C-alpha cells in the first residue's frame, strides 16, 4: 500500500488489482493536487478506509475476490456519503446512472482513463 503526504489536500483511496493501473491512477490523482493511498484488493482497501481520512474512493470493477461493485456497496455501508468512482476496462458493461447509484457507484469511467474526465469527476464528487 502506497501513501502520499501533504495532509492539507483530500485523500483519495485507489483500489486496483493491476499494479500498473494502481500506480498510474495514484500518480494521476497526486498530479491533480490530491493525496493518494493505494490498495491491491477490496479487502485491504476497505481496511484502509476504516482508518479514516478518505475523501473519495476509486475502484476497479473486475478484481479477484471482491469486485468493484461489492467494494462500492461496502464503502456505502461504512460511510454512506463517501463518493465512489468505478473504473473498468469492460466496455460491454453499460449500466446506467440509477443502476450504478443503486450499487453504491457515484460515477464510472472506462479504461484507459481520460485524465481530464477523472479530474472533473473527482472535483465534483469531493466538492459534494
What SS3 state is found at 3?
strand
Domain assignment of residue 2, yes or no: no
Asked whether the beta carbons of 45 and 87 are under 8 A apart, the reply is no
Contact criterion met (CB below 8 Å) for 28 and 4: no
Q: What is the CATH number of the domain that holds 76?
A: 3.40.50.2300
Domain membership flag for residue 71: yes
Q: Does any domain span residue 6?
A: no
- Asked whether residue 5 is domain-assigned, the answer is no
Enclosing domain of residue 50? 11-127
**Total count of domains within the chain:** 1
Residue 3 lies in a domain: no
Residue 30 maps to a domain: yes
Where are the strands (E) in 6-126, listed by range? Answer: 11-15, 35-39, 54-60, 84-88, 107-110
Is 49 strand, coil or helix? helix
pLDDT of residue 6: 55
Q: Divide the 128 residues of the chain into consecutive groups of 10 and give the mean pLDDT of each group.
A: 64 97 97 97 98 97 93 96 92 65 88 95 94
Amino acid at each position: 500500500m502506497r501513501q502520499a503526504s501533504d495532509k492539507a489536500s483530500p485523500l483519495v483511496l485507489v483500489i486496483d488489482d493491476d499494479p500498473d493501473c494502481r500506480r498510474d491512477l495514484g500518480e494521476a490523482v497526486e498530479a491533480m493536487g490530491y493525496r493518494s493511498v493505494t490498495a491491491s484488493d477490496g479487502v485491504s482497501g476497505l481496511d484502509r478506509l476504516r482508518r479514516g481520512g478518505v475523501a473519495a474512493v476509486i475502484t476497479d470493477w473486475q478484481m479477484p475476490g471482491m469486485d468493484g461493485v461489492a467494494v462500492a456497496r461496502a464503502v456505502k455501508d461504512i460511510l454512506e456519503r463517501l463518493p465512489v468512482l468505478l473504473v473498468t476496462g469492460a466496455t460491454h458493461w453499460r449500466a446506467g446512472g440509477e443502476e450504478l447509484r443503486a450499487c453504491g457507484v457515484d460515477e464510472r469511467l472506462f479504461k484507459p482513463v481520460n485524465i481530464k474526465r477523472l479530474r472533473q469527476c473527482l472535483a465534483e464528487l469531493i466538492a459534494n
